[in-house]
Every structure is written in C-alpha cells, then in structure tokens.
Amino acid sequence: MNDNNTFITKEGLERLEHELDDLRKNRRKEIANRIREAKELGDLSENAEYAEAKDEQAFNEGKIIELDYVIKNCQVIESGKVSDCVIVGSKVKISADGKEFEYTIIGSNEADPSNGLISNESPMGKAFLNKRVGDIAEVKLPQGDKHFKIESIE
C-alpha cells in the first residue's frame, strides 16, 4: 500500500464525485455569469464585483483540481474487511482510565472525531494502526502521553 494514498469510503468517494460534478457543471456557469454581468458594469480596474467573481473562479478551479486529484489517487476502503490488526477501515474498541471508546479508522477527508471517525494520519489513528487485540497504543498528546488498550477490532 502506498502511504501517499488518500483513503476514502465508497460513500465518501461518491460524495466527492458528486461535488466535483456540481463544481464543473453548475458552479462554473454561475461564476461565469457573475463575471459577464460584472464586465457589463464597465471599468474593470475599479469593479469590486468583477474582482470578487474572478477570485471565486480561481478558488473554484483550485477546488476542482484538488478533488480531481483526490478522486484519481484515492484508495477505497473495503468495508467489512476483517483483519487481526488495526488497518484503515477497522472499527476499534479501546479502553483507557476505565472508560471504553469506539472509533473507526478512515482517511483524513472523512474524519469526524466527534462521531467516532478518526483519520489514519491523526496521532490516535497512527498509534492504533497495526496493533492487535490486547496491545497498548501510546498516543502522544499535548497534555502528555496517553495509553489505550485495544479491546476489539472489527
């Protein structure tokens, strides 16, 4: 596996493809119309609407390039793939200080820690990768190192 890959779920890939399609088909047209309307207002050197629309166009094109790159270079996480160690796509039950937590290790594009989705590139995600049930994962945090026991892997 190439470490430079962006990991993404099938659903996440579909969302990115939909967003890219929308940016290309709809957003480009909207911005082009704004630029055309701003040009009709006259002097472009002092036309704030024109400058804003051009900035928005540049941002949109940058986002299109970024999404296109991610889609072409991502690795789709196989759902339901079972492993005896933590891999991207694993659901991990951990314990620390008498409390249990459950996280799913996913790619950074879909990370949402408040909903239990942590990036494979985050300190916790990196610490859990390749660990087995019963292993202790040490996570370096700003307030100090924290130790988590891997209770189960799905």
pLDDT in tens, 58-82: 999 999 999 999 999 999 987 666 7
Residue with tokens 């049930």: 133
pLDDT digits (tens, 9 = 90+) for 127-139: 999 999 999 999 9
Question: Domain 6-76 carries which CATH code?
Answer: 1.10.287.180
CATH topology assigned to domain 91-153 = Chitinase A; domain 3 (3.10.50)
Residue 1: predicted pLDDT: 37
**Helices marked H in 9-119:** 10-22, 28-39, 48-73
CA distance 111 to 123: 13
pTM assigned to the model: 0.74
CA distance 119 to 126: 8
Please, where in the chain does CATH 1.10.287.180 lie?
A: 6-76
Contact 119, 107 (CB under 8 A): yes
